[in-house]
Structures are given as structure tokens and as C-alpha cells.
Amino acid sequence: MLKHLLPLGTRDEFGRRARTKQHLIAVIQAHFKQRGLAPIATPLLENEAVFDPYQMGNYQLYRLFGNDGRTLVLRPDMTLPVARFISATNVSLPQKFGYVGDIFRVSRQLSGSYNQITQAGVELVGYASLKAEFECLTIANQLSSELIADAVEIELGDAQFAQRVVASLTGDEGEQQAILTALFDKQVPRYTKLIAKYRAQPLYDFLKAWPRLFGRPECIFKELAAALLPETVQPSLKRLQTVVAWMQQTMPEQVISVDLSSQAPQKYYTGLTFRGYSQAGAGYLFSGGRYDKLLTNFQAEAEPAVGMGLNVDLLTTLATDQQTAYAEQLIYFEPEQWSQAEAYLAKQPHAILSLADDLAGARIEAQCLNAQLIDLTGGMTND
């Protein structure tokens, strides 16, 4: 019924986007399988307590009441439910998981954000080595190259760098948070006022330049080398340099940037963070990082882990917009020609079967899809 209520152009776009999205999901799942990721699915409804320790971004949760009076939520995040599942089931570690599922967030009005987002993701649990970060970055690099035509820039950061810098300035947690908020929100006048009291400290020149501390790795590392930074941030910087050197060696075509003036994608990250974005898209195509302490919310012992989420809807938008001008082929055939139609379909990656009753119906279907009609009952036609 819905298709009859939509204008023809809208129906065409809706159908094309739906097919593109399903294709991307299939490619992502096949890639996950090839990389040895075990598929995992978590409940759509979770206890609100699972998300209580974290401020889940600039959005609210969809809340429902269970029969026992507890508050349930439609999951706004996939990593936390995976962590709860691992803890509750006593899965032996290390483990590599991959998933595709929907998350639900009540976004701010007029923000342009969807309230339901399809997300694919990777969770590598029990791995302390940088090899886990390398694996996530490899998957991100390979999938972005395979799924969209535009070059994707990977932006690296560190979840602990900013906290350790401000902790070296003052022990006042309120003051620390005020400086970080102004820095992350790029409230430069307020930030400048807050750091003014530290003018006599050796770190002051760095503090003045900090809001602009993003760009190409070689420039950022040069600036950091000249700064009188506290020793507590040196492990973070060494890790960043190691990751950049590895990426430049293993994926030389990948565009890399470093940003040490922005907030980590989620509050639970503890180490390296990364985001990927295309110049053609609004928002991040993927984001992730290390979260070694996340499981302590569900069990006594911490476990090292690295995770990444991909925004399937944004990838779909880019892939749909970037599709080439070829016309998909629509195959019309009689029931007794099914095997012949299947054989043709197997050789044509952009063909689909017409299930119309007659040739006239197939012509209408081809017109709606802007597709080339292949008539196996009487030859080829370019309707």
C-alpha cells in the first residue's frame, strides 16, 4: 500500500536505497566472517541500568516499563549490551565478535539526526596488544574502500590525553571539567579565560595552541615535541606515533589525521580512539577505540577490549548517491524459463528478476526502477 501513496520518484529512490542498504549489510557481514568474527546479537530491550554509568551522547533514551516495574530502554548503543552479554554468559576470552543491528536514540529536534540507526560493529575482547587496534583499523580501511567511492580520512585521538594534561594543571575536578568542556566545545573565549591563571606555567604556550591541535600527523607531532608536556601523556603520544607509522606502512594510500583537542566518541574509551569520515558525508562513517575497563560495570575483573561501530545508514546514503549511471537490468521470463533466468542473473551483478504476470507489467516495473528490461521470452528491449 505504501508504494501507491508515494510519488514515483520517491518510490524509485526508496527502493534503490533499500537495495543498496541490504547489499552493504551483506558485504559487511561477509567481510566480518572472512576476518573470523563470530556473529553476535543482543536484545532490543535492555535494563536502563546497563547504560546508567555513561552519558550516552547528545540524545535521550526511549524508555518503557517492564511487568516487574523496572525501566527498560530500546538499546541506544551496541557495545554496552555486548559487554553485559559477555559477562553474563561467562564466555571464554579472548573473542572476536561482529554484529549488525538497530540502535534507538531520541535526537534533538531539528538536529537532522535519525532516531533509529542501523549499526554494524566489531568487538575484540580480551586483547591487550595494539594488534587489536590494527585489526579494527584494517577492517575500517578495507570496508570504506569497498563500500564507497570517496576517500575516507581516519582521524586518530586518545581518550586519556586531555584528562592527563588538565590533571597536571590542577587537582580541582570542577576546574578540570570546565577547561575540557570549553576545549571540546570549541568555546575559545571561555577556554582562554579559564587557562589565563596558568600563564606562568611552562605548559601555557601549549594550552594556547591546544584548541587547534588537529591536522596531519607530522605537523601535530612536531608541535607536541616542542611542548613541555607532563610525563603522564608520553605513553599516549608514543602509542599514537606507533599507530601512525604502522598505518603509513601498511595502508600508504590512507589519509590520516590526528586530533587531540576533541572528546572521545564515548565516555567509556580508555586509550586510542579513531573516527572515519568522508568529505561527501555529514558525520562519522565509523568510530571506535580501546575500552579496557568497560566490563568492570558487569563483573569484578577488567578485560582489555577494542571496538568499532559503522553507521550503515550514512554509508548507504553515500553509496546510493555515488552509484554510477548504469541502468539495473530487470529480467522478464516465463515460469518454465526459471533456470535460464537464474543462469542469466548469476552472470549479471546488477540484474534482478521480474515477477510480473506479463510483459506489460514487466515494462511498467522496469520504468519504475529506471532499469533495462531483458525479455527472455523474445529478446532484449531497452524500454
Q: Rounded CA gap, 376 and 334, in Å?
A: 8
**Whole-Å CA distances, 271 to 212, 219, 357:** 21, 21, 59
CB atoms within 10 A of CB 317: 19
Angle at 275 between CA 269 and CA 39, to 5 degrees: 75
Model confidence at 257: pLDDT above 60 = yes
Considering 14-23, 139-148, 367-376, the range whose residues carry the highest mean pLDDT is 139-148
pLDDT, tens digit, 9 for 90 and up, residues 293-322: 877 667 667 889 999 999 999 999 888 766
198: exposed, middle or buried (C-beta count within 10 Å: 0-12, 13-18, 19+)? Answer: middle
Percent of the chain clearing pLDDT 90 (strictly above): 59
pLDDT at 3: 39
In 226-311, which residue ranges form alpha helices assigned H by DSSP?
234-250
Q: What is the mean pLDDT of residues 208-226?
A: 95
Looking at residue 204, the DSSP 8-state letter turns out to be: H
Strands of 305-311's sheet in order across: 38-39, 95-104, 116-125, 305-311, 286-290, 272-278, 152-158, 255-259, 214-215
pLDDT at 56 over 60: no
Residue 206 confidence (pLDDT):
96
Helix boundaries (H) for the chain: 2-5, 8-34, 79-89, 131-147, 161-167, 173-184, 188-195, 204-209, 217-225, 234-250, 312-321, 338-347, 359-369
pLDDT at 324: 42
Averaged pLDDT, 66-72: 83
Q: Note the pLDDT tens digit of each residue in 86-110.
A: 888 888 889 999 999 998 988 665 4
Find the helix packing angle between 217-225 and 234-250, rounded to 10°.
150
Name residue 60's beta-bridge partners: 106
pTM metric for this prediction: 0.79
Partners of 158 in the beta sheet?
272
At which residue does the C-alpha cell 599516549 appear?
A: 236
Rounded to an integer, what distance in angstroms lies between the CA atom of residue 381 and that of residue 286?
42
Nearest-angstrom CA–CA distance, 179 and 187 = 10
116, β-bridge pairs: 104
Mean pLDDT of 128-148: 94
SS3 of residue 197 by DSSP? helix
When pLDDT is cut at 50, 70 and 90, the band that residue 5 belongs to is very low
**Nearest CA among 56, 250, 240 for reference residue 155:** 240
User: Lowest-confidence range among 16-20, 32-36, 289-293, 335-339?
Assistant: 16-20
pLDDT band at 11 (very low <50, low <70, confident <90, very high): low
The residues that bridge with 331 in the sheet, in sequence order, are 353, 374
Q: What residues form DSSP beta bridges with 162?
A: none
Higher pLDDT, 193 or 278: 193
Examine the pLDDT at 273 and tell me if it is beyond 90. Answer: yes
Instruction: Note the pLDDT tens digit of each residue in 190-212.
Output: 999 999 999 999 999 999 999 99
What is the C-alpha to C-alpha distance for residues 382 and 375, in angstroms, rounded to an integer? 10
Q: What is the CA radius of gyration of the chain?
A: 25
Strand bridging mode 286-290 / 272-278: antiparallel
Counting every residue written for the chain, the total comes to: 383
3-class secondary structure per residue, 108-159: CCCCCCCCEEEEEEEEEECCCCCHHHHHHHHHHHHHHHHHCCCCEEEEEEEC
Mean pLDDT of 231-253: 96
CB 140 within 8 A of CB 308: yes
Whether 141 shows a pLDDT value over 80: the answer reads yes
pLDDT bracket for residue 8 (50, 70, 90): very low
| pLDDT at residue 323 greater than cutoff 90 | no
Start-to-end CA span in the chain (Å)? 26
CA–CA dist 208, 140 (Å, integer): 34
